[in-house]
A and B are shown apart, each in its own frame.
Chain A
């Protein structure tokens, strides 16, 4: 059974710092991995999708990597801003085409 773990559960850093969020999964048989952002009481915003054949994806200040063999992904946020404060969720698409979710990392960027 696929399990997705996100570490840390919460992170607070000063504005301007670069940071890394971690995601691990137990079964390497995935179609893709996605990173999402969720603001309090709001829906999901898709940030990056990495296909199983890819190693990384970049969008602006965000870079996501995928090491399928070791079951790990990282989301790198450069030059963090207070507006980056949110909960970041990682999810993998399993062999049944379902999304399996991590519990999220709550990020706070202090001005």
Chain B
């Protein structure tokens, strides 16, 4: 149980275009989802916290107009990278939290974004 999927797993896009990444909790409902990015050989950096039905909370330094997050249902959150630039190339990982006492997060397999 507690499986999280991401789609696509890899995407290559041209500079200036927008890319949407989906994060789904397959066998549970997630009222809270998180989006992280990871640069090569670095740890994960939390970008934003997404609660179902409300606006996402962005971490300091993360541009909310560039990284649009929508959490329209209890099983789906999307991250849209708008007007992508090569510096947005990174590994994006989502997680979903089960609302129970241990607050464990379950992670998706990640999406490799390359902007050319």
Interface status of A32 (Cβ within 8 A of chain B) = yes
Interface status of A76 (Cβ within 8 A of chain B) = no
Give the shortest distance, in Å, between B39 (CB) and chain A (any CB): 12
Residues of B within 8 A of A21 (CB): none
Once the chains bind, are A104 and B43 in contact (CB under 8 Å)? Answer: yes
Once the chains bind, are A46 and B102 in contact (CB under 8 Å)? Answer: no
Once the chains bind, are B103 and A32 in contact (CB under 8 Å)? Answer: yes
Q: Which A residues between 86 and 109 are near B, CB-CB below 8 angstroms?
A: 89, 91, 93, 97-99, 101-104
B contacts, CB < 8 Å to A: 32, 34, 42-46, 49, 91, 93, 95, 97, 102-110, 112
Q: A32-B103, A43-B93 are in contact. Are A102 and B108 (CB under 8 A)?
A: no
Residues of A within 8 A of B103 (CB): 31-32, 93, 97
A contacts, CB < 8 Å to B: 31-32, 34, 36, 41-44, 46, 49, 51, 89, 91, 93, 97-99, 101-104
Give the shortest distance, in Å, between B32 (CB) and chain A (any CB): 8
Partner of B105, one of A43, A51, A99, A104: A99
Residues of A within 8 A of B91 (CB): 41
**In the complex, what distance in Å separates the CA atom of A89 from the CA atom of B45?**
13
Partner of A103, one of B43, B110, B112: B43
Once the chains bind, are A102 and B43 in contact (CB under 8 Å)? Answer: yes
Partner of B107, one of A43, A51, A93: A43
